[in-house]
Amino acid sequence: MVDVLVTNGPMLIMLAAVFGFLMAWGIGANDVANAMGTSVGSNAITIKQAIIIAMIFEFAGAFLAGGEVTSTIRKGIIDASFFTETPELLVYGMIGSLLAAGIWLVVASALGWPVSTTHSIIGAIVGFAAVGVNIDSVAWSAVGGIVGSWVVTPAISGFIAYIIFQSVQKLIFDTEDPLTNAKRYVPFYMALAGFVMSLVTITKGLKHVGLHFSTTEAYLLAIAVAVAVGLFGKVAISRLKMSDKADLKTQFGNVEKVFAILMVVTACCMAFAHGSNDVANAIGPLAAVVSIVESGGVIGSKAVLNWWILPLGATGIVLGLAIFGQRVMQTIGKNITHLTPSRGFAAELAAASTVVLASGTGLPISTTQTLVGAVLGVGMARGIAAINIGVVRNIVVSWVVTLPAGAALSIVFFYIIKAIFS
């Protein structure tokens, strides 16, 4: 049956590329909107600015640091040995999965649901493999781990966000002189953000550009970046024209302006972290298809990325955000709880830290669930009444529906594609 791959190879690669682009577009519309939602929701930046930031940093993250997770998604979820005799089934399945996950993401984005792109593609891959090939071809323990991450991921990021937000309250807002304390402590928060982000960039991103650092070197570099960011922050904040003689309400407003600067930094970082983590959802299956077709049916453990695959994914992500990202931004940034720049900063830094922790351990976590958990953590710090429970309920339902929705669609597309080509 391998001759199917030889005769239809270019056609299969083209289909995979088109559906991979659709999937990346869906990731942009849904996930990137999460990364930017807190910044837009707290009015730290406008939607237009969010799109420009995302275009630069998502693209950089996907392009420079996007190769790491690609092999995890491919190897971890299904057992390739079930496909050695019939590699074309894996090709059909991956193409069907991309189309299924892409469609689900577009539907969810239209409804304003922040769902997990990672879980959409995993649900799709599990669906076609279990039903179309063999129920044993799925690593069910890995799937169990993903279901477990629905609870663990938001809990970790919520806890970190709660702590960051409480520290901001105690050190700055609940003091007699909030503005002076903001000028004193915010550079430290900036340094922390710089440390977390540079660490993920150094440990994950620079490998792909041929730079390798030992753990000690990575930490020392990250500390150096943190110090530089902190000093830059100190200078930038000292230049803001604000009077600490004003009444408390005006001072609070001025402190939020300081945090708005910080939100721009964390938004850039979050976009980079997200691009590096989630582009794999679109390009992983695409890379698998390309490598199987080009090798004439040999299923390697790692897919070599062709030069055009990463830019295709990165471009799709940026276009999806620009054209379709506003609804999910509205949900995350405005509908869960009322966000100000200081609250949004706490949520974003917590989410980014959780993504860094997870990337380091190779877990395919959901950026979405991380961020929703963090926004909930900030809401909780203000009391349960500050949270819109109805919105949260809809979000949780959409998470639970994502795996089966992706699976059901991919089963249908798998059989259609199989029928067309064989």
Q: Report d(CA 119, CA 107) in Å as an integer.
A: 15
Give CA separation, 285 vs 17, 155, 252, 303, in Å: 10, 29, 49, 9
Closest listed residue to residue 33, CA positions, set 270, 298, 255, 229? 270
Q: How far apart are CA 219 and CA 239, in angstroms?
A: 30
The tokens of 77 are what?
Answer: 């979820």
pLDDT of residue 19: 95
Q: What pLDDT, on the 0 to 100 scale, is given for residue 20?
A: 93
> Whole-angstrom Cα distance, residue 349 to residue 95?
35
Q: Could you give the 3-state DSSP secondary structure of residue 138? A: strand
Per-residue pLDDT of the chain (422 residues; tens, 9 = 90+): 567 777 888 899 999 999 999 999 998 888 877 778 888 888 888 888 888 888 888 888 777 766 654 554 555 678 878 888 888 888 899 999 999 999 999 999 988 888 888 889 889 999 999 988 888 888 888 788 777 777 888 899 999 999 999 999 999 888 888 888 888 888 898 898 888 878 766 766 566 556 677 778 888 998 999 999 899 888 887 877 776 677 778 878 888 888 887 888 778 877 877 777 777 778 888 888 888 888 777 776 665 677 788 888 888 888 888 888 888 887 877 788 888 888 888 888 888 888 777 766 666 677 778 888 998 888 888 777 778 888 888 888 888 899 899 999 999 999 999 999 87
- Structure token digits, residue 254: 């001025």
CA 344 to centroid of chain Cα atoms: 17
pLDDT of residue 24: 92
- The tokens of 216 are what? 């000690």
Query: Percent of the chain, pLDDT > 70?
Result: 90
**Count of other CB atoms within 10 angstroms of residue 209:** 9
What's the farthest any 2 CA atoms get from each other in the chain?
A: 79
Burial, 148: exposed, middle or buried (Cβ in 10 Å; 0-12, 13-18, 19+)? exposed
Q: Is the whole-model pTM more than 0.85?
A: no
Q: Name residue 7's amino acid.
A: T
Q: Residue 226's pLDDT is what?
A: 92
* pLDDT of amino acid 151: 82
Cross-strand partners of 138 = 78
